[in-house]
Amino acid sequence: MKVNNFVYYNPTKIYFGNEQLVHLSEEVKKYGDKAALVYGGGSIKRTGLYDKIMKVLGDAEIQVSECAGIEPNPQYTSVNCAAKISRDNGCNVIIAVGGGSVIDAAKVVAQAHFYDGDCWDLVTKKVNESRALPLFAIPTMASAGSENDAWAVISNADMNEKLDPWHAGYQPTAAFIDPEITYTVGRYQTAVGAVQDMALHMTEYGIAAFYEISHGHGIAILFPRWMQYILNEETAPVFYHFGQEVFGIENGLESMDGAQRTIDALSDWLYNQMGLESKLSEFGVEEAKLHDMAVKATENCGGVLHSLTKLTTEDVENIFRMCL
């Protein structure tokens, strides 16, 4: 697919378009010649992306130390392992190849390179480390935009925690976004990557703190139920407009009718057309855990999530119950 290439700085330098990876080595060489390559389960090898990256780096005589195995909800233990590889090999740049989880993990790796302790100390701000290695991101799917912000989301299954620290050093130095790379992502990843809302991001943290589920899939299960739960005369016009723009819901309807048709269309697209599982119970979520999940989802926001409406801990628990 032919696209209009461009370079954009905000403050991450974005290389967008076909074959933009050719610029990877020139950007990396500004900072060093020893890179830690952070990636997930190995799909980049099956698609050929790994070979393409290694050739670009190899031609520029950039040494590569591999840090594979980053999970969909990146665990602090994986970050610790990757940071140790980076330190042991004297790396001076980090390259993240994957979706938001891989890029998030790589951000903390870049900081943890300078801290010979548990990276969870950095995530919780128990330890303040201002330094971080330059980070380069190669996103393989369209999702939360982690390649252009200074936030990370890291999980700790041992403590049932999922936190989202901010650090200036987490801002990627450059990102290389080639839409054709996203073609290699399967139907499932495309579907879960398309679902975004900030309140639902925070709500889903309560699920992922206790259960292993893709962040995007958790949001997909929550999304229509959240809309149904907060549907009223104030939110209906917003939902109806969303349905008109995204699903082609007809004009001229009463707002409540249009909003309900939008919710139905969204549910049909997620669960029928895209084939996503629609129930949390299919991931082992138990009703007895719902309150604890709701507390986790809201505790870092003073017990209330803010979006189109306010969601208390009780509200979040009710939405979880709708999703079982």
Summarised one tens digit per residue, pLDDT across range 79-116 is 999 999 999 999 999 999 998 899 999 999 999 999 99
Last residue of a domain, one of 131, 159, 185: 185
Number of CB atoms found within 10 A of residue 51's CB: 12
Reduced to 3 states (helix: H, G, I; strand: E, B; else coil), residue 3 is coil
Residue-level pLDDT at 277: 95
CATH number at residue 64: 3.40.50.1970
Which helix or strand (DSSP H or E) is residue 206 part of? helix 198-208
Q: Please give the residue range of the domain that contains residue 286.
A: 190-322
Last residue of a domain, one of 185, 209, 242: 185
Domain count, the chain: 2
Which helix or strand (DSSP H or E) is residue 97 part of? strand 93-98
Summarised one tens digit per residue, pLDDT across range 258-292 is 999 999 999 999 999 999 999 999 999 999 999 99
Cα–Cα separations (whole angstroms), residue 137 to 29, 184, 243: 15, 17, 33
Does residue 204 share a domain with residue 172? Answer: no
CATH number at residue 243: 1.20.1090.10
pLDDT for 21 beyond 90: yes
Does residue 80 share a domain with residue 152? Answer: yes
Q: CB of 12 within 8 A of CB of 6?
A: no
Summarised one tens digit per residue, pLDDT across range 190-230 is 776 666 766 788 899 899 889 988 888 999 999 999 999 99
Reduced to 3 states (helix: H, G, I; strand: E, B; else coil), residue 270 is helix
Summarised one tens digit per residue, pLDDT across range 147-184 is 989 999 999 999 988 888 999 999 999 999 998 887 76
d(CA 238, CA 231): 10
Do the strands 174-177 and 304-306 form a parallel or antiparallel pair, or are they unpaired? unpaired
Reduced to 3 states (helix: H, G, I; strand: E, B; else coil), residue 71 is coil
Reduced to 3 states (helix: H, G, I; strand: E, B; else coil), residue 142 is coil
Reduced to 3 states (helix: H, G, I; strand: E, B; else coil), residue 155 is strand
User: Is this model's pTM higher than 0.85 or not?
Assistant: no
Does residue 180 share a domain with residue 116? Answer: yes
Residue-level pLDDT at 182: 78
- The answer to whether residue 163 sits within a structural domain is yes
Residue-level pLDDT at 1: 65
Q: CB of 314 within 8 A of CB of 294?
A: yes
Question: What residues does 312 pair with on adjacent strands?
Answer: 304
- The answer to whether residue 1 sits within a structural domain is no
* Of 26, 20, 24, nearest in space to 7 by CA: 20
Last residue of a domain, one of 165, 185, 205: 185
Residue-level pLDDT at 193: 66
- DSSP state for residue 149 in the 8-state scheme: S
Does residue 164 share a domain with residue 81? Answer: yes
